[in-house]
Amino acid sequence: MSEQRKITNALISVFHKEGLESIIHKLDELGVKIYSTGGTREFIEDLGVRVNAVEEITSYPSILGGRVKTLHPKVFGGILARRHVEGDVQQLTDYDIPEFDLVLVDLYPFEETVASGADEESIIEKIDIGGISLIRAAAKNFKDVVIIPSKNQYDKLTNILNEQGGETEITERKELALEAFNVSSHYDTAIYNYFNSYFDKPTFKQSISDAKVLRYGENPHQAGTFFGKFDQLFEQYHGKEISYNNLLDIEAAVYLIDDFEETTFAILKHNNACGIASRDKMLEAYKDALAGDPISAFGGILITNDKIDSPTAEEMDKLFFEVVIAPAYDDDALEILKKKKNRIILLRKDTTLPTKQFRTLLNGVIVQDRDTSMERKNDMKLVTKKQPTTAEYEDLEFALKIVKHTKSNAIVLAKNKQLCASGTGQTSRIDALKQAIEKANHFKLNIEGAVMASDAFFPFSDSVEIASGGGIKTVIQPGGSVRDQESIDFCDQHDMAMVFTGIRHFKH
């Protein structure tokens, strides 16, 4: 049995017609007999190319408003018949069924219709039935049939027609079958997830077709791939290829900055903020963010929620950093930042980020809602005799936004909407606090009168005791410890203000 096949009969049923014209003309030039139905048949006829109506094979018209066109034994028999099985070939002859060597399909745009905000009836009508069935049938019989499952494979078909005269080897057809089942499974996953948005059944189904192989993973000896449409979120203006670790930092930076409304500049290293400040002017925001930890800022990720101007870019250019992210740049600022050839410059687009997050765990996956909670002044419960001032309440909100995005156990010290220091990823809250105080003192940042934010409650009063010794006067924490009163009593005895939020912000 020869494994090489030449296309002689083609069945074509597509939604998108872009890029199809040249394929139709080439098929016609090669003497391929074309079968089609509905809008695709009309498109081919308008090109002046002879096309056979599927209805002529089936003796049935398109019915139910186009819902049923190709679902017929005379269509699927011609696709699924095994050319090397004598009985299959004889039945094709007995029932006057043509062999189909090429099936070209492009499905109804279900995902695009959902994303457009269309009503349910419009969405349901974009669930392709005939097309998905044609794809699966042709892919199953890849030994004899070439399957082109979407417009994304038009270029491959064009190469087969132009360079190979319509002939294919079995390895080519098998790879196309692989792509076909990728298309069909992705399509079904999208449909399932649409229906499950109404019921939230505990099933895990994700399908992402866009993939980019990275230089390596977290370390050079690890392979890494990013699955997703990065270009939907960012436009890369300049710089080297983005790495696995860059992506982790970029995600952390984006979710952090999104909690701030006023002009804010943040510097991150290993997913944690090492500097952040909110100011009226961009340059001041950058300078004060950098002052928080100019050592850790080296090689970091820079992000802001406002346009970067040229004075700020001049200051930034003095620092070695990997990535900068902003919603806009002055032209002069871009030219300054582009001076370093490897520096990654990203323009952030106005898009919505996912509200669910998942990660592999042991032999499975865990899924959770993303932590979108952010407590404001009205959510804070005063538990001490002393009340924070208006400025201190603003600093409490500022510090809470940062600690929420800091690896646990986490403590954040802030003053005048500037990160003074943080203790990150420590095994005890005391160690995190001591780390933060030591760091602030090292960089000569005055924390007298600063506020302290904790991602979780204090099990004992020792944290507020140490904070008081460091000059901290105001504290925000979730509360919830059986010994909360001990911390409250200490604060009352030492003229400290403390508020509870009732919300924990662990991050691991």
Active site residues: 140, 270
Torsions phi, psi for 239 (to 5 deg): 110, 180
152: tokens are 């994304």
CA torsion, points 321, 327, 333, 339, in degrees to nearest 10? 40
Neighbours of 217 (CB within 10 A): 14
Measured between alpha carbons, how far is 411 from 431 in angstroms, rounded to an integer? 9
435: tokens are 């780390």
Contact assessment for residue 104 and residue 14, using Cβ atoms and an 8 Å cutoff: yes
383: tokens are 């538990």
Q: What is the 3-state secondary structure (H, E, C) of 460-484?
A: CCHHHHHHHHCCCCEEEECCCCCCH
> Distances from the Cα of 196 to the Cαs of 199, 203, 365, 377, 442, in angstroms?
5, 9, 18, 36, 53
Contact assessment for residue 336 and residue 314, using Cβ atoms and an 8 Å cutoff: yes
94: tokens are 């007995």
Beta bridge partners of residue 300, listed in sequence order: 321
Beta bridge partners of residue 204, listed in sequence order: none
Torsions phi, psi for 88 (to 5 deg): -65, -45
Contact assessment for residue 466 and residue 494, using Cβ atoms and an 8 Å cutoff: no
Contact assessment for residue 269 and residue 294, using Cβ atoms and an 8 Å cutoff: no
Measured between alpha carbons, how far is 249 from 232 in angstroms, rounded to an integer? 18
Contacts of 67 (CB under 8 A, 6+ apart): 129
Interstrand relation of 497-500 and 474-477 (parallel, antiparallel or unpaired): parallel
Q: Please compute, for residue 73, the number of CA atoms within 13 A of its CA located in the half-sphere on the CB side.
A: 6
CA torsion, points 269, 271, 274, 276, in degrees to nearest 10? 120
Q: What is the end-to-end Cα distance of the chain in Å, rounded?
A: 58
Measured between alpha carbons, how far is 98 from 100 in angstroms, rounded to an integer? 6
Contact assessment for residue 401 and residue 478, using Cβ atoms and an 8 Å cutoff: no
Contact assessment for residue 239 and residue 344, using Cβ atoms and an 8 Å cutoff: yes
Measured between alpha carbons, how far is 435 from 418 in angstroms, rounded to an integer? 17
Element at 405 (helix H, strand E)? none
226: tokens are 């990013």
